[in-house]
Amino acid sequence: MLYVVSYDIPDTGRRTKLAKALKDFGDRVHYSVFECMLDSILLNKMVARVKKIVLPNDDSVRIYAICANCERAIQVIGQGKVTKMEDIYIV
């Protein structure tokens, strides 16, 4: 499933750490937005890593699940493309 992860973190160190962690799960499409193609196991791993980094009273991270029908309706205006499932798997 496609997930869109956005964040607002005022601390530069935590923000950088989160961005590096999210790169393990998806593609950065804007400064604080990632698109991630994840199964439930990878989603749980990503959420666990996010929770280790953020401070709930200071930071905001949102994870949006995009259903297959909604994914087909995504429009990109300008540069970029919607993240797609890769046909190559690294084991």
CATH number of the domain encompassing residue 39: 3.30.70.240
Domain residues for 25? 2-72
Q: Which residues are annotated as a binding site for Mg(2+)?
A: 8
22 in a domain, yes or no? yes
Q: What is residue 41's predicted lDDT score, i.e. its pLDDT?
A: 94
User: CA-CA distance, 6 to 33, in Å (whole number)?
Assistant: 4
Rounded Cα–Cα distance for residues 17 and 5 (Å): 15
Residue 80 falls inside a structural domain: no
Instruction: Specify the pTM.
Output: 0.81
Is residue 79 included in any domain, yes or no? no
Query: Are 59 and 8 within 8 A, CB to CB?
Result: yes
Within a domain: residue 45? yes
The total number of structural domains in the chain stands at 1
Provide mean pLDDT across the span 45-60: 97
The mean per-residue pLDDT over the stretch 22-36 comes to 94
| pLDDT per residue as tens digits for the range 57-88 | 999 999 999 877 777 777 777 776 776 665 54
pLDDT (mean) for 36-61: 96
Q: Is residue 67 part of a domain?
A: yes
